[in-house]
Amino acid sequence: MSVPFLDVGAAYRELQAEIDQAVNRVLKSGTYILGREVEEFESRFAAYCDTSHCVGVGNGLDALHLALRAMGVGPGDEVIVPSNTYIATWLAVSQCGAVPVPVEPIEATFNIDPDLIEDAITPRCKVVLPVHIYGQPANLDPILDIARRHGLRVLEDAAQAHGARYKGKRIGAHGDAVAWSFYPGKNLGAIGDGGAITTNDADIADKIRLLRNYGSRVKYQNERLGFNSRLDPLQAAILSVKLKYLDSWNSRRTAFADKYQSCLDDNDLHLPFVPEWAEPVWHLFVVRYCQRDRLQRLLRESGICTLIHYPIPPHKSEAYKGDYADAKFSVADDLAESVLSLPIGPHFENSEIAGVIDNTNLLLSSNE
């Protein structure tokens, strides 16, 4: 058998006629920067997330970076981040000249542990930046409560969580702002780079609109030191098409995740734990196993591709190593050694997921 980790071209093939039509509309429009297509996607995605504002930007990293700037984060400030996230979360903080302050996750959910946040807050702290990692919402209520008590802003990294719900309400503006990525492999993915910020805070939305476009509201009048990071109208038109299918695609992911949860059976294989208040969208299906590298190799020999998210935690990356040499983040380190992402996505066949389950169960039982 042969099961890829993910086929990002499958969504295009399913919707080819509709996407081609949208692309042609942009090509013929003569508007290639911002304009109607971007505004339409922004209002559709804001409605989907049940928020008042959405601002489209160039990618997910810029969404995080510009949102932090709009919250006033600058040199010398600190931002609380998970120790086990994708490095983009940390880089956005560093791009502001601020310092990422890592907090360890709860191992079973992979999400930042709210009980550890308060101890990490110093007078320099400005923002708490939880990540809804692998598509499962972080425990937002205690995080918002701590932030409120300390006068901090909350920015959510929802790059992996399009459509996820926390206590029944879609991720979109529980915190002060939410950053999104439309990288092709995400649950809502463009055919290139893309990103956005959703918020109910008109002031934050307005600041980001300025920052993404040279600090300018009126052409050649520059109010602030801005950047150039605008959502491409071609990507916006494609995203407007794909957004209509997001919920049904997420349901297919959930059906596959349920299959994994009920059929993978080995006492040493740790399956993801879903708290009762979380409705994840299974961007990734991540298991933990002590002999992870061996399991990955055996699955590869059976034709099944898996990935590791992520093999090197940010504090151990070449980029940050010097800054965190004395620090110890043992949960993040353990996770990097033991996590394995199984294939999941809306375009797999039932038989492919069944094949992953059968092979995994077989390999684990013959290992004992």
Ligand X SMILES: *Cc1c(COP(=O)(O)O)cnc(C)c1O
* Residues that bind ligand X in the complex, under the rule CB under 6 A: 59-61, 85-86, 88-89, 131, 157, 159-160, 181, 183, 193, 195
Q: In which element (H, E) is residue 23 found?
A: helix 16-29
- Judged by beta carbon, residue 62 or residue 352, the one nearer ligand X is 62
Residue nearest to ligand X (CB): 60
Nearer to ligand X, 85 or 296 (CB): 85
CA neighbor of 56 nearest in space, from 69, 70, 66, 71: 66
Q: C-beta of 61: minimal distance to ligand X in Å?
A: 4
Residues 320 and 273: beta-carbon distance below 8 Å: no
Q: Which is nearer to ligand X, 188 or 295 (CB)?
A: 188
Nearer to ligand X, 159 or 210 (CB): 159
Rounded least distance, CB 354 to ligand X, Å: 28
- Least Å distance, CB 57 to ligand X, is 9
Q: Which of 244, 275, 254 is nearest to 167 (CA)?
A: 275
Q: Is the sign of the CA dihedral 70, 72, 75, 78 positive or negative?
A: negative
Instruction: Output the smallest distance, CB 193 to ligand X, in A.
Output: 6
> Least CB distance from residue 217 to ligand X, whole Å?
25
Cα 181 vs. chain centroid, distance in angstroms? 7
* Beta pairing class for 53-57 and 177-181: unpaired
Who contacts 350 (Cβ-Cβ below 8 Å, separation ≥6)?
Answer: none
CB-nearer residue toward ligand X: 283 or 295? 283
Distance of CA 187 to the CA centre of its chain: 9
Comparing CB distances to ligand X, the nearer of 196 and 364 is 196
CB of 255 to ligand X, least distance (A): 23
Q: 196: exposed, middle or buried (C-beta count within 10 Å: 0-12, 13-18, 19+)? A: buried
How near is the Cβ of 35 to ligand X at its closest, in Å? 21
| Closest to ligand X by CB, 64 or 173 | 64
User: Least Å distance between CB 283 and ligand X?
Assistant: 8
d(CA 298, CA 300): 5
Give dist(CA 110, CA 244) in Å, integer: 29
Cα 224 off chain centre by: 29
Report, in Å, the least distance between residue 107 CB and ligand X: 18
Report the nearest approach of ligand X to the CB of residue 221 (Å).
Answer: 29
Cβ atoms of 140 and 173 within 8 Å: the answer is no
Contact between 341 and 306 (Cβ < 8 Å): yes
Q: Which is nearer to ligand X, 65 or 153 (CB)?
A: 65
CA–CA gap between residue 356 and residue 295 (Å, rounded): 12
Query: What does R_g of the chain's alpha carbons equal in angstroms?
Result: 21
CA–CA dist 2, 48 (Å, integer): 36
- Could you tell me the CA-to-CA distances from 341 to 164, 257, 261, 317 in Å, in that order? 19, 12, 13, 20
User: In which element (H, E) is residue 233 found?
Assistant: helix 233-243
Q: Which is nearer to ligand X, 127 or 298 (CB)?
A: 127
Nearer to ligand X, 162 or 170 (CB): 162
Cβ 46 vs Cβ 53: under 8 Å: yes
